């Protein structure tokens, strides 16, 4: 299920700020619900993507949500313990599940639209214990042979780490609660709900760091690392550059 796409693009000031804020990457909160803990063998059952929007003053806020039920891939493992936690019945006749490839392509289509709107080169995954979500996303992309994955293949923003540093809590429910945000225990372990709370937590922490980010950005500009226009503007046409160019090996 997708929320309606807004026909209007973000204000030009907001688009320029977003492209510069994360060096040309667009943060997108992702949550997956699965049939277990092993991305190569366990089924992907739900996926939700929540956009991070920006106001003209540079404040981040939660944007549109796009979420889908997913059919277990053939041979995909379904651990009863995991299903008891999520409450998902993968084969319920009223469950509007899509094939894995179809669900991924629908999510990615919306993300590419947002990338163009904000002038960003690539998406970067935001998630609570983000390595888990990214591993399942990458496994599903490979399994379904989806060719145009808009996400950075290995980098991510982990809200468990951010919340631990900023709020002293790493459990999503506790971090959201101490941050003063809404938390409904009955809605947890639902991809849509968890992704929305992760997005709100990410926005809250980033907004509290605006002063330090602005100081660091000014220092980076003094060092000549990027122009006033920002890093995204320095590489026109670099919508999806080759991976080896965009992600050089670590030294």
Query: Does pLDDT of 240 surpass 90?
Result: no
Mean pLDDT in the chain?
A: 90
- Structural domain contains residue 113: yes
Domain that holds residue 124: 12-229
193 versus 250: which is more confidently predicted? 193
Overall pTM surpassing 0.75 (yes/no)? yes
Report yes or no on 6 lying in a domain.
no
Confidence of residue 225 (pLDDT cuts 50, 70, 90): confident
With respect to residue 139, please indicate whether it lies within any of the assigned structural domains: yes
Q: What CATH number should be reported for the domain holding residue 88?
A: 3.30.420.10
How far apart CA 49 and CA 70 sit, in angstroms, is: 14
Domain count, the chain: 1
Would 78 be classed as within a structural domain? yes
CA gap 122, 5 in Å, rounded: 19
Reported as a single tens digit per residue, the pLDDT across 15-69 is 999 999 999 999 999 999 999 999 999 999 999 999 999 999 999 999 999 999 9
Active site residues: 189
Mean pLDDT of the 90-110 span = 98
* Rounded CA separation 212/194 (Å): 28
Kindly state the average pLDDT of the residues 119-138: 98
Tokens coding 174? 């506790």
Cβ contacts of 23 within 8 Å, gap of 6 or more: 226, 231, 232
60 within some domain:
yes
Beta strands 60-70 and 97-98 are parallel
């Amino acid at each position: 299920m997708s929320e309606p796409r807004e026909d209007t693009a973000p204000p030009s000031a907001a688009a320029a700020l977003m492209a510069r804020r994360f060096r040309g990457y667009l943060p997108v909160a992702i949550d997956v619900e699965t049939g277990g803990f092993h991305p190569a063998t366990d089924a992907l059952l739900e996926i939700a993507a929540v956009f991070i929007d920006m106001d003209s003053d540079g404040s981040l806020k939660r944007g549109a949500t796009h979420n889908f039920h997913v059919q277990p891939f053939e041979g995909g493992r379904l651990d009863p313990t995991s299903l008891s936690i999520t409450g998902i019945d993968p084969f319920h006749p009223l469950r509007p599940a899509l094939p894995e490839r179809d669900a991924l392509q629908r999510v990615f289509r919306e993300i590419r639209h947002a990338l163009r709107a904000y002038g960003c080169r690539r998406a970067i995954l935001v998630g609570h214990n983000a390595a888990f979500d990214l591993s399942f996303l990458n496994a599903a992309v490979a399994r379904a042979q989806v060719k145009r994955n808009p996400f950075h293949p290995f980098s991510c923003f982990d809200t468990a780490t951010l919340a631990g540093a900023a709020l002293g809590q790493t459990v999503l429910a506790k971090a959201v609660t101490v941050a003063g945000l809404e938390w409904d225990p009955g809605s947890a372990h639902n991809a849509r709900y968890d992704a929305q709370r992760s997005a709100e937590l990410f926005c809250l922490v980033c907004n509290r760091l605006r002063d330090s980010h602005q100081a660091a950005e000014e220092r980076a500009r003094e060092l000549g690392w990027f122009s006033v226009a920002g890093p995204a503007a320095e590489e026109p046409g670099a919508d999806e550059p080759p991976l080896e160019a965009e992600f050089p090996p670590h030294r």
